[in-house]
Structure 1
Amino acid sequence: MSAVPVIELTEASASPPCALTTAQVVTLVAVPDLVAIAPTGSGLWRLVGRQRVGTVRLGIGEAALELRIHPKIPVDHLMYLVAFATGSSVWRHGQVGVAKADLLVAAVADAFARSAEQAMRGGVLHGYVAREDSLTVVRGRIRTSSQLSRRPGLAVPIEVAFDDYTADIAENRILLGAIEHLQSLPGVSAPTKALLRHLAARLVEVVPVRAGAAPLPAWTPNRLNERHLPALRLAELVLGASSFQQKGSPALQVDGFVLNMAEIFERFLTTRLTELLQPYGLRCAGQQGHHRLDRSGSVLFRPDIVAYGRGRPAAVIDAKYRELGGPPPTSHLFQLISYCTALGIRDGHLVYAAGGPAAMPYRITQSDITVTAHVLDLALPPEQLNQALHRIAEMLASGGSGDRTTATA
């Protein structure tokens, strides 16, 4: 059996020209959100990465191949972003030593395995689950209507409903689903796989969630599952990062772990600004729907982040996972102007993930709206990135940009 060819590239960058079969080209065309593909004119093909990173195996047989899309920033820096984006404290306080791996999948698997092991040191989580069954004895309550409709005149079996105290609860189903999925991925180290197998053996009563399944089983953070929260947040990330939008028919077999960097950046920015603005009496809402763009309220828009003060919108922030190489594009400015106008606020902020020094604030003609551009260089160490975020938070808390230049990393 021939090995599956591996193609390596960097997000938002082009790969060297490579040879592909017709079936493999069809495979790659079916996942345009992952890569763009174009002929080089010499019988070879060039792939260009999108804003996705990770490892994924696509197709079967002659159409099969493996993509390894590396992030533009160091893996340990990306893990810092992921920690805040997922609401996990794993990398913030040093509970887990992140693997110094070049492959993102290896680092995520290592962090998740250690986090899950730490959570289970106090024992496997159990809870009550509502069950319905046919039994020879009464357990819980008798389902009278089901008993009469299914077995009229019969004493047994009895249709009953009861609460079962079990390990097969939503939290464990999610954890086991992530454990099994990570074990199947290439690039995961042997020690990490061994730890994952050990964790899976502790969840033998649990039916795992299938990777890519949506929605995941519902669960609510509480006192009982508190120690599992970091592992659960990572597990949800792992399971959610295994589904892809595909084009064409038939459906393509996909197995992997891919992060949408634009979403990670937006969620990271939302979490950090929420924390940094709280001492100033401001709260943040991410992706909140509004119907105030037109007078009839028929147009829905969702700003990335809205900061509220005293219950009213105070500023709107838009995360742009792209490089700022000069003045912001006109379309970006128009977008913020629309948001500010609809929400009745003066200050809009564009936050870019890379670029040179940011522009001066833009005071919009015939209005009192000011749009300010910021640059957060995600390649910087977390300490410097945090300093830049503090400067942006201070500007937001002060009520706008005034005459100051834009905070940069």
Structure 2
Amino acid sequence: MSAELPRIVIAGGGLAGLSLALALKQALSDGVEVTMYDPALGRDPHADKRAYAIGAAARRMLEALRIWDGVADAAQPIHDMVITDSRLQDPVRPSFLTFAGEVEAGRPLAHMIAGGDLTAALVEACRGAGVSLKATGVESFSPDPAGIDVAAGGRTERACLLVAADGARSRLRELAGIAWISWPYRQSAIVATIRHARDHEGRAVEHFLPSGPFAILPLKPETAPDGSRLYRSSIVWSERSEAVPHLLESHPEDLLAELERRFGLQLGALSFETGPQAFPLSFGVARRFTAERLALLGDAAHVIHPIAGQGLNLGLHDAAALAEIVVEALRLGRDPGAADVLEEYERARRADITAMGLVTDGLNRLFSNDILPIRLIRDLGLGLVDRMPALKSFFIREAAGLGRGTAPRLLRGEAL
């Protein structure tokens, strides 16, 4: 390739960064050089056992990137969702709100998929498309009006744009001097994969409990060596942070008993397929999503509560928006790292991210308490929504990522 070709450097090989890299190369082919740096690229992507909810709009994007067909067999569609609101000791958990899982004919609200499967597919596709993958991190950068020098792996390369996709504790965001607005939730998320005796039938359940939401998310069943079906679900158990160390350090049988109190016995006997891990929860958003020759992507730009399962989907929306803006700029002969181009990205993402952050923050504060008047009001509201098909349809489309104004082309299933 000619050294004069525009180069875009992406720091961070997570799902959003990989999707951006693939979108750029598929759209522009030999018209752009894309280099990705992340030490994790030297490890087996299948080691990531976390499960993610992929909304309908994000699925359209993966279809447009020609990724979905390769991972669809490992993805579990969510056919319906049930929301309850109760105390832990309540003998019955009434269902206040239910959602049918289809947003369009044959299109479920979301799919659950293992992060390792999706990462591996994106890495392979990026290699095939000509993305240069480097298993090292970006050390520093120096922008100027004509470009940006990026130091990584003991060498410096010239680029027109650096994308910081290096996570919530983004070092590049700090080096760029971009302020981070955040507050802790005093909650931690305990995540694990659970095996259960009976089929979940593609149903997701969200129990709103005073200590935080407890989500049961269906995973694709596996086949045991004896031919039997292994039914599985992912849990996201939000708990008060001060209680989490005691829970995780308790005897496995005691921890399983606490899990059963929250999970319920509707799916039969439970066991841990993967050991539980805990992550502190917080809200965070960058004051700006861009700096000179730099754009923030995914968790480097925003972190929200997992109550609606929208964290990854927001990151994929970032990637779709930035890819479209960069591709259009290069096709028109514009500089993709110029201030006016990056301002388009800022405008495209600010409202959506702000709205989703406020919604998830408000829902968590509304439901993570045991104040009786508030409980009565919120349960009344859930019941009213359940009886209003048009309003339910609106919420379903919002959760699927299909109702957010003019979406980028990739989220509409259109190639760039």
Task: Report the TM range for the smaller structure's normalisation.
Answer: under 0.3
Structure ranking higher on relative contact order (CA contacts 8 Å, 6+ apart): 2
- TM-score where L is the length of structure 2: 0.24
- TM-score where L is the length of structure 1: 0.24
Higher share of residues assigned helix: 2
Higher share of residues assigned strand: 2
